[in-house]
Amino acid sequence: MFASSIRLASLPKGPSMARSFSYTSPARVAEVKSLGVIGAGQMGLGIALVAAQRAQVPVTLVDSSQASLDKGLKFADKLLEKDVAKQRITREAADAARGLLTPTIKIDDLSSVDFVIEAVPEIPDLKTKIFSSLAQIAPKHAILATNTSSISITKIAAATSTDPTDLQASSRVISTHFMNPVPIQKGVEIIRGLQTSQETMDTAIAFVERMGKVASVSADSPGFLANRILMPYLNEAVICLETGVGGREDIDNIMKTGTNVPMGPLVLADFIGLDTCLAIMNVLHQETGDSKYRPAGLLRRMVDAGWLGRKSGKGFYDY
């Protein structure tokens, strides 16, 4: 999952990137009054919290583990307290946002939401199982979005119906791929599948913009935009380390001081999670058949060793 923008602040400003036309029109945008988020990990919790704060909609946060829900909400409390302490928001605003988050271990509690965002690990079978269930549980008007960073939206959408001629549910499936960490990063990739309707597309863009995000549209192609560009960059940094082209500090420092990125590639890979990096590289390699996406051998070995980066305490650096 794409974790950090590459900011080239020292370069001259280019042409304005403001949209010269609108992707949305009132006739095509459905009203979103409630949100469901599946997965209470770092991504899911971030999405739920930003939706409660910025879009001010009630959010039903679903996870199969009560412990994960408790941990996620504790983290939400910590983030809100930090914002209050730094006077970014008022105590009243923090309390209001927290009050809009409702945790549950029952996916059936999404039976009345207008929009669902799935944010579980990048396991294709898990995602298709969830979307198959959502097609039966969620209202017939609800947008069914995935936060996948690499899996085909067309394939996920196909899981919503056993009848290929029934496009009603699959037409409401789309990807809203948020960047990590969600409360900080503004970018969201919007990816439509072959079956996705224009109304679904317009509604998704309008809703993420309501959350204060900047939508970028990508084709349903392996890795989409962010990871198609980012992951080979990180993988090449690992190859440079593995083959002795440079040491870890040299690799990270030259990219930070030479291109003005906020994190060097190895630090960034640790932040994202080396298992996530490997999973995305595997998808790129398998889906394209192009050898340039073959994961670095060192990356595979580190994941095998359980050295996953920040979340495990050890990666290219110790934490």
75 closest CA partner among 41, 118, 119, 117:
41
175 closest CA partner among 202, 199, 204, 155:
204
128 closest CA partner among 153, 150, 109:
153
249 appears as a binding residue in the annotation: no
Residue tagged active-site, from 4, 152, 227, 235 = 227
Residues 6+ apart with CB under 8 A from 96: 56
Give the span between the Cα atoms of 309 and 316, in whole angstroms. Answer: 7
242 appears as a binding residue in the annotation: no
Give the span between the Cα atoms of 23 and 25, in whole angstroms. Answer: 7
Cα-trace Rg, the chain: 20
Whether residue 277 contacts residue 298, with contact meaning beta carbons closer than 8 Å, is answered with no
106 appears as a binding residue in the annotation: no
44 appears as a binding residue in the annotation: yes
Does 16 qualify as catalytic in the annotation?
Answer: no
Residue tagged active-site, from 68, 147, 149, 197 = 149
Residue tagged active-site, from 189, 197, 199, 235 = 189
Whether residue 74 contacts residue 101, with contact meaning beta carbons closer than 8 Å, is answered with no
122 appears as a binding residue in the annotation: yes
Does 177 qualify as catalytic in the annotation?
Answer: yes
Does 285 qualify as catalytic in the annotation?
Answer: no
Give the span between the Cα atoms of 45 and 147, in whole angstroms. Answer: 12
Does 227 qualify as catalytic in the annotation?
Answer: yes
39 appears as a binding residue in the annotation: yes
Residue tagged active-site, from 177, 197, 199, 218 = 177
41 appears as a binding residue in the annotation: yes
99 appears as a binding residue in the annotation: no
- Which residues are annotated binding-site positions? 39-44, 63, 122, 127, 149, 180, 311
- Which residues are annotated binding-site positions for NAD(+)? 39-44, 63, 122, 127, 149, 180, 311
Active site residues: 149, 177, 189, 227
